[in-house]
Amino acid sequence: MDIAIVIPARYGSRRFPGKPMAPIRGRSLLGRVWAIARAVTGASEVYVATDDQRVADHAQSFGARVIMTSPDCENGTERVRQAMRSLPQPPDAVINLQGDAVLTPPWVVQSLVDAFHADPTLQLVTPAVHLSWSQVEEIRRSKEVSPTSGTLVTFDKNLNALYFSKTIIPYLRIRTMPEPPVYRHIGIYGYRFDALDHLASLPQTPLEIAEQLEQLRALENGIPIRIVLTDYRGRTHWSVDAPEDVTKVEEIIDREGDLI
């Protein structure tokens, strides 16, 4: 199965202009994410998709393959779709690895590639991690300060997603069970290309608009999303959304070491 990894990266972030080139302990943000993607086996190619020549030049300086896209792309998903449509032959499937996902362990991305190789009929795949009671409490406290931080997911016995929410789901009325059935969604997606092409052509849906979660558009249109269970093996989950996140990421790298 031909699977590509695409890293959407734009220069003009409202909160952090020039973010892809931001230095993090001697390497740029984009360079670190590209190295994570390159560590994954079973993918045919890794691309950087951008609308800015400055990002393209920087990506090419460390050997990345670059596809230029329109500045009118509304989000990373649309940028990935446009990049793949520009190829003479789109891949069978594509992994969308966000350009700010600098602390995503390569084995998490690997799990999505492996899922497609194990079952090429899958339409969408995305990872999730199981939370302990203490981690659920940590997320609850976080949401008191920032209600939209962290996304949770529920799924059926076949690991097909039932719902994604910014609210902690399910509601934990019973707290005597050894482990809570609570899973944090990791915002990395794998799509069969035809599913991505179809999904991106659909209008926004009510639940998607309400929660501001793109993946709900798929569920509301009956497109199944397979959840791939993984874990961070003690690593800390973080992404770079604003300049102050750079310091936090560097502290994590100093404490836990480089992923790649």
- Does the pLDDT of residue 241 top 90, yes or no? no
- Does the pLDDT of residue 216 top 90, yes or no? yes
pLDDT at 61: 97
pLDDT at 196: 96
Share of the chain above pLDDT 70, in %: 100
Calculate the average pLDDT of the chain: 95
Each residue's pLDDT tens digit, 141-197: 999 998 998 999 999 999 999 999 999 999 999 988 999 999 999 999 999 999 999
pLDDT at 15: 83
Strand, coil or helix: what is 66? Answer: strand
- Does the pLDDT of residue 31 top 90, yes or no? yes
- Does the pLDDT of residue 43 top 90, yes or no? yes
Q: In this structure, which long-range contacts are made by residues 233-239, counting pairs with CB atoms below 8 Å and at least 24 apart in sequence?
A: 233/105, 233/107, 235/103, 235/105, 235/259, 236/103, 237/103, 237/184, 237/186, 238/102, 238/103, 239/98, 239/100, 239/101, 239/102, 239/103
- Does the pLDDT of residue 122 top 90, yes or no? yes
